[in-house]
């Protein structure tokens, strides 16, 4: 009878337990969870705070009782594993309810401890109004603070997934919100120019977004509250509240009623380190492709582990639910004698930011530059479905590829409709090893309510192939501000589109539809740098000019990419 | 100077003209269109009739003038090519406005004539109230009939894309509608049991759906209308209207005010045949992978041609906009000296049926059976995104695969959310040659508003792999009505789910969560046929039983697949 001990009862741990039981009826499966809940919907926490998910009970997917009934798993909540004794193949467990300790034997141990919020040692940050959000008790505390402290202003530090979701939750509750982000963009999985769409969306909702701004110190101004029993208040209302004075890196100050620290997470490796398991260079638990740690009897999955990057083959940390769940299933397979290999992580991710979806897969340009990987890129802005059918929204799409092999390196998309679909398509294409040549031939669903006969992806592939084949010479948004005297900037949009100063400085305007008649107005000794709104008419003009002997380049993604890069 | 003559100004023809100009500034490009419009949104026609697309002008994507200005293409509408003179490399053109004939030379000719609605010779079908829908004039006539004939009841013959879209358009206009379909299902790209969801959706909207019913004859009962000029009616109101008495294959009769014939389309091959071009076995113009006909100077694209089926390699007819557009682009490339190959058609398709999307890619089960291709299949019914986040809808998903190699043969999906996305994922995976083993590892976008940590596709892949590896033994919906005395039907749902007779006859009920305690109630000498609502709990029960030495099978897709197969 195989004894399987699992540390951590969410995502990876819960998946592993269920799979293990399906494979073996007689395995003994014990799952330890130091918190009071197992298998809760951690991705749903911000949405319950904001009110989208109304019932707290909806977040509790399984209970110890349901796990026992369905999977015969011995779930021990409020039981914390405090040591792994590898030589004895036991773990030391502390029962947090009665304080007692005991030993538990294992044949195989699975570590699924997750990752913990990083809270830097900022002076004053340890106070009753400052929270991070990782689990149900954290969520309950935030809700309690909102309720009890009459929160009128909230501050979120960190523009990642949780920071953005908490920002939206506060906004939805009618609370004025400031979002502080140290870098020059939110949502680091996408590149700066794609994040511009998110910045605009955030500011359009009245959120005080401060990029390049850090939190320097926190001052807690307490104010004690005495329950007004005449007004029906219970003793619950008798507590400390008050407000915070935040000092920011630009020396400005900000008064706020609640502070959420969401700058990132760090793998939980304490137990693994104490047990002498190998820790990777990035600080996660080392695992091989079977999700096995340096001790063959111990497996590890989820946010705590380092896994292989699908694109580069390097070690990476990707704290996301999808990989955690699949790794858990696979670890169970391998513990019970199967031979499953994890195939690497692309880091496919998506975040809802008000009405916008921001998503990506594979590597972004920042990472490619850092790793010295040769790449080319295209931008396409086109309708999520046939533009003549109601409800179409612009999908802004970026694709990164190897200019020699055409291999897909990464993709990013932003928009109000159809963003998840396009990134899913790219995630599959990348995983399958497809090239931008092959992407041209993709045959995706088309009817006016759902797509276009030439989908976003087909169009991006056409542009990329034009570049690979030399049919298009690209100029990118970040080169436009540095043109020389040997270059002439040509706007090929209609004059009406240029009204209210809506064009680049020092340009010339000839509409694409008049270009043949007016082509002689252009100099042959200069390079014509063509732009239009999104790059499509620019390409038509580009082809006309080069086929007429001009030197030319086309601004890929057009004015739209250029402008949002500054947003 | 290359002379390119294009016959047909929609989809493939228009794509080819624009691409040809981008490749060559000095090619002479002439496009003939016998109708009054080029490059109109033919997929949008039913939506303008139904009112979703309010402005008729939105359907007119390009005009001869705009094509000339932007692409220097000589567009000649109301000019019909009546003969191809291959030896002279000319076409004979009839100017439909003045009746004159003339010759036009070509170096390369592109045939993009499309497909024509099939209207069988049903007695009486040729009358002023019977229409088919292919182009703007057809649409205008239908709208005119609706307006002038006080249409209270409409009949649509044919449950394909256009028939279904016209049914919805009539319904949206408040017109009672009957849909006649000869076969036992609408939407033939999907299999019968998947079409059941569409049948329910159609009936739930009050449409009189009659499957297995043909139109036998039509009687036109005219009634002349005199314009009431005192009431402000123009001479437009002076026309024949009336109603139709339809006699159906079951001898019943039906009074209706407008009749739409939408049983299918047939490639337009008249010109090609007259010119002695090779016609394929299916009746379409033969083309090689370069979209070249049997005459190397003549290319053909779109609904009129036979192309290669991506899965089987056989010739196929796929009258859809996506392939037409991509083929047009490719034909232009090849006419101008490139060497592009069409990569075959999967037939990826989608149709909106009220709130439901019905979509598919690759081969369906009917085709696989007909072609004697070995296959296995899975059904999954699961939430379009995290079920605890508002707005999740069930995606009902079917996947067909080769049980030996795991290669994907086809996929079908039905639901109110996320259907297009899942079929797009499958279309890419299939085109990339992925196996169901590889599908398990797909890393798709996940956040609660968009997906699940284990997506529909991952789940279907898990089930398929369980079958391939022998971890699951499937029974399918169509075997359930033929169980023998050696089999015992076991419902593992909760008793509450069985209320109001909502279970199969002659079954036994033990909830999956009680199965371990009550396992001795089951016989070891019979095969236990397990079912639940969608197949998930059934799998948990199945594993438990076989791991305890029982013989068992699990109903894939559960009761939901079984019930909708009969809808």
Bridge partners, residue A356, by sequence = A353
Task: Please give the Cα distance from A361 to A421 (Å, whole number).
Answer: 12
Q: What's the fold here for domain B355-468?
A: FAD/NAD(P)-binding domain (3.50.50)
Confirm if B559 and B531 have CB atoms less than 8 A apart.
yes
pLDDT greater than 70 at residue A458: yes
pLDDT greater than 70 at residue A234: no
Pairing type for strands B176-181 and B208-211 reads: parallel
Closest to A429 (Cα-Cα) out of A419, A418, A417, A441: A441
Of A389, A424, A446, the CB nearest to B47: A389
Helices and strands per DSSP (H, E), number in chain B: 15, 31
Task: Select the residue from A326, A363, A424, A542 to test the B interface by mutation, using most B Cβ atoms within 10 A.
Answer: A424
pLDDT value at residue A202: 98
Task: Report chain B residues whose CB lies below 8 A from the CB of A310.
Answer: 443
pLDDT value at residue A50: 98
pLDDT value at residue B238: 55
Average pLDDT over residues B9-34: 96
Enter the tokens of residue B502: 């909502």
Task: Report chain A residues whose CB lies below 8 A from the CB of B61.
Answer: 388
Average pLDDT over residues A284-291: 97
ipTM here: 0.96
pLDDT value at residue A239: 61
Task: Select the residue from B40, B407, B424 to test the A interface by mutation, using most A Cβ atoms within 10 A.
Answer: B424
CA distance A413 to chain B (A): 11
Of B424, B428, B453, the CB nearest to A321: B453
pLDDT greater than 80 at residue B13: yes
Question: Do A348 and B443 make contact, defined as CB atoms within 8 angstroms?
Answer: yes
List pLDDT tens digits, range B338-383: 999 999 999 999 999 999 999 999 999 999 999 999 999 999 999 9
Q: Which residues does A23 contact at the CB level (< 8 Å), separation at least 6?
A: A332, A333, A336, A338, B471, B543
Question: Do B446 and A321 make contact, defined as CB atoms within 8 angstroms?
Answer: yes
pLDDT greater than 90 at residue B227: no
Task: Report chain B residues whose CB lies below 8 A from the CB of A46.
Answer: none
In chain B, whose CA is at the least distance from the CA of A58? Answer: B388
Question: Do A69 and B26 make contact, defined as CB atoms within 8 angstroms?
Answer: no
In chain A, whose CA is at the least distance from the CA of B18? Answer: A540
Task: Report chain A residues whose CB lies below 8 A from the CB of B429.
Answer: 428, 432
The mean pLDDT of chain A is: 96
Question: Do A445 and B359 make contact, defined as CB atoms within 8 angstroms?
Answer: yes
E strand or H helix that includes residue B254: strand B253-256
- Tell which phi-psi region holds residue B8, choosing left (phi > 0), alpha (psi between -120 and 50) or beta: left
What are the boundaries of each domain within chain A?
3-114+265-335, 130-261, 355-468, 474-564
Q: What's the fold here for domain B3-116+265-335?
A: FAD/NAD(P)-binding domain (3.50.50)
Question: Do B438 and A427 make contact, defined as CB atoms within 8 angstroms?
Answer: no
List pLDDT tens digits, range B171-199: 999 999 999 999 999 999 999 999 999 99
Architecture of domain A3-114+265-335: 3-Layer(bba) Sandwich (3.50)
pLDDT value at residue A223: 86
Q: How many CB pairs under 8 A join A and B?
A: 243
Architecture of domain B474-564: 3-Layer(aba) Sandwich (3.40)
pLDDT value at residue A501: 94
Q: What percent of chain B has pLDDT over 90?
A: 95
Task: Select the residue from B388, B427, B473 to test the A interface by mutation, using most A Cβ atoms within 10 A.
Answer: B388
Task: Please give the Cα distance from A417 to B259 (Å, whole number).
Answer: 36
Average pLDDT over residues B100-121: 97
Question: Do A345 and B424 make contact, defined as CB atoms within 8 angstroms?
Answer: no
pLDDT greater than 60 at residue A237: no
Bridge partners, residue A74, by sequence = A30
Same fold for the pair A130-261 and A474-564? no
Enter the tokens of residue A116: 């913990």
Question: Do B446 and A543 make contact, defined as CB atoms within 8 angstroms?
Answer: no
pLDDT greater than 60 at residue A238: no
Question: Do A447 and B43 make contact, defined as CB atoms within 8 angstroms?
Answer: yes
CA distance B78 to chain A (A): 24
Question: Do A513 and B66 make contact, defined as CB atoms within 8 angstroms?
Answer: yes
Of B310, B420, B539, the CB nearest to A451: B420
Q: Which residues does B389 contact at the CB level (< 8 Å), separation at least 6?
A: A44, A47, A52, A53, B448, B449
Task: Report chain A residues whose CB lies below 8 A from the CB of B72.
Answer: 516
A179-195 core/surface letters (b: 16 or more CB in 10 A; e: else): bbbeeebbbbbbbbbbb
pLDDT value at residue A1: 87
Average pLDDT over residues B440-452: 97
List pLDDT tens digits, range A432-448: 999 999 999 999 999 99
In chain A, whose CA is at the least distance from the CA of B417? Answer: A450
pLDDT greater than 70 at residue B447: yes
List pLDDT tens digits, range A352-377: 999 999 999 999 999 999 999 999 99
pLDDT greater than 80 at residue A342: yes
Domain covering B130-261 assigned CATH 3.40.605.10 in the classification: no
In chain A, whose CA is at the least distance from the CA of B537? Answer: A70
pLDDT band of A225, cuts 50, 70, 90: low
Q: What percent of chain B has pLDDT over 70?
A: 97
Average pLDDT over residues A162-178: 98
Question: Do A442 and B427 make contact, defined as CB atoms within 8 angstroms?
Answer: yes
Of A24, A389, A425, the CB nearest to B44: A389
């Amino acid at each position: 009878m195989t004894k399987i001990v699992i540390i951590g009862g969410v995502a990876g741990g819960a998946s592993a337990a269920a799979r293990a039981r399906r494979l073996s009826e007689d395995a003994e499966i014990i799952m330890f969870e130091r918190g009071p809940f197992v298998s809760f919907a951690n991705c749903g926490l911000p949405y319950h705070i904001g009110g989208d998910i109304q019932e707290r009970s909806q977040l509790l997917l399984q209970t110890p009782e349901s796990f026992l009934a369905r999977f015969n798993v011995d779930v021990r909540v409020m039981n914390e594993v405090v040591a792994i004794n590898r030589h004895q193949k036991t773990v030391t467990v502390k029962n947090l309810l009665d304080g007692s300790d005991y030993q538990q034997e294992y044949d195989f141990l699975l570590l699924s401890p997750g990752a913990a919020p990083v809270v830097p040692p900022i002076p004053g940050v340890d106070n009753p109004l400052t929270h991070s959000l990782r689990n149900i008790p954290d969520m309950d505390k935030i809700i309690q603070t909102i309720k009890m402290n009459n929160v009128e202003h909230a501050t979120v530090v960190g523009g990642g997934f949780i920071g953005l979701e908490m920002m939206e939750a506060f906004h939805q509750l009618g609370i004025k919100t400031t979002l502080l982000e140290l870098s020059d963009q939110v949502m680091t999985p996408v590149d700066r120019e794609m994040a511009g769409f998110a910045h605009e969306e955030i500011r359009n909702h009245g959120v005080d977004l401060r990029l390049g701004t850090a939190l320097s110190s926190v001052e807690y101004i307490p104010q004690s509250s005495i329950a007004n029993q005449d007004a029906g208040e219970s003793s619950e209302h008798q507590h400390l509240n008050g407000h915070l004075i935040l000092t920011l890196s630009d020396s400005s100050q900000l008064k706020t009623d609640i502070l959420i620290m969401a700058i990132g997470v760090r793998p939980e490796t304490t137990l693994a380190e104490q047990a002498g398991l190998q820790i990777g260079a990035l600080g996660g638990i080392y695992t091989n492709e079977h999700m096995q740690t340096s001790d063959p009897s111990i497996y590890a999955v989820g946010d705590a582990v380092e896994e292989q990057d699908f694109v580069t083959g390097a070690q990476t940390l990707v704290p996301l639910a999808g990989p955690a769940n699949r790794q858990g299933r696979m670890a169970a397979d391998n513990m019970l004698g199967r031979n499953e290999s994890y195939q690497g992580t692309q880091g496919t991710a998506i975040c809802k930011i008000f009405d916008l979806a921001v998503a990506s897969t594979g590597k972004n340009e920042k990472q490619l530059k850092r790793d010295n990987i040769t790449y080319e890129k295209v931008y396409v802005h086109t309708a999520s479905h046939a533009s003549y059918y109601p409800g179409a929204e612009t999908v802004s799409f970026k694709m990164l590829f190897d200019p020699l092999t055409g291999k897909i390196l990464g993709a990013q998309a932003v928009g109000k409709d159809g963003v998840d679909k396009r990134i899913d398509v790219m995630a599959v294409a990348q995983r399958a090893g497809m090239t931008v040549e092959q992407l041209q031939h993709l045959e995706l669903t088309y009817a006016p309510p759902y797509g276009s006969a030439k989908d976003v992806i087909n169009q991006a592939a056409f542009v990329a192939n034009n570049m690979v084949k030399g049919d298009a010479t690209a100029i990118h948004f970040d080169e436009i501000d540095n043109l020389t005297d040997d270059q002439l900037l040509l706007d090929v949009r209609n004059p009406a589109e240029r009204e209210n100063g809506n064009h680049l400085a020092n340009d010339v305007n000839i509409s694409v539809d008049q270009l043949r008649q007016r082509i002689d107005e252009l100099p042959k000794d200069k390079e014509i740098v063509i732009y239009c709104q999104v790059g499509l008419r620019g390409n038509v003009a580009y082809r006309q000019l080069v086929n007429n002997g001009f030197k030319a380049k086309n601004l890929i993604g057009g004015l739209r990419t250029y402008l949002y890069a500054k947003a």
